[in-house]
Amino acid sequence: MWCWRIFCKRLYLGRILSVMVLGVFSSPFAVFITKDDKNYVEPDISVICDKSKITDKGCNGALDWVIEIVSPSSKAMDYFTKLFKYGTAGVREYWIVDPSKEQVIAYRFEQETMEEYSFWEAVPVCIYEGLSIKVQ
């Protein structure tokens, strides 16, 4: 059931953001966030505003917004490793969606803030003024 909800959310999110002329990609989609073209990450959902970053291999450079959906096997990677990688690479906004806690943690690296939201709250997308999303 959870996988189906995530799939529907991805479609809905893609529809919302495609109106804003953005690139929205779901995993598997390679993101080369460093100058090294051999090492990459595969976020669950990637939002790219600069379409010139998109290549036939994936994306070169920092994403504008990343959403990772936590599973038991990805918990350490999402909460620690990817948080560090995205924060140091220039990602503007990073959400960790944790179904077991029914929680979204939103890191806004440009503002150097972090906020926690329940699934029943509207989470503002800080890189797009006026846009907010409920995960529920």
Looking at residue 123, which CATH number applies to its domain?
A: 3.90.1570.10
Mean pLDDT of the chain: 80
- Specify the number of domains making up the chain: 1
Domain holding 30, by residue range, is 2-134
> Which pLDDT tens digit goes with each residue over 85-112?
999 989 999 999 998 898 999 999 999 9
Gap between the Cα atoms of 102 and 84, Å rounded: 23
pTM score > 0.85 for this model?
no
Q: How far is CA 17 from CA 13, 36, 39, in A?
A: 6, 29, 27
Q: Kindly report which listed range (36-40, 62-66, 119-123) carries the lowest average pLDDT score.
A: 36-40
Please name which of 104, 22, 101, 94 lies closest in space to residue 65, comparing C-alpha atoms: 94
Give pLDDT, residue 14.
52
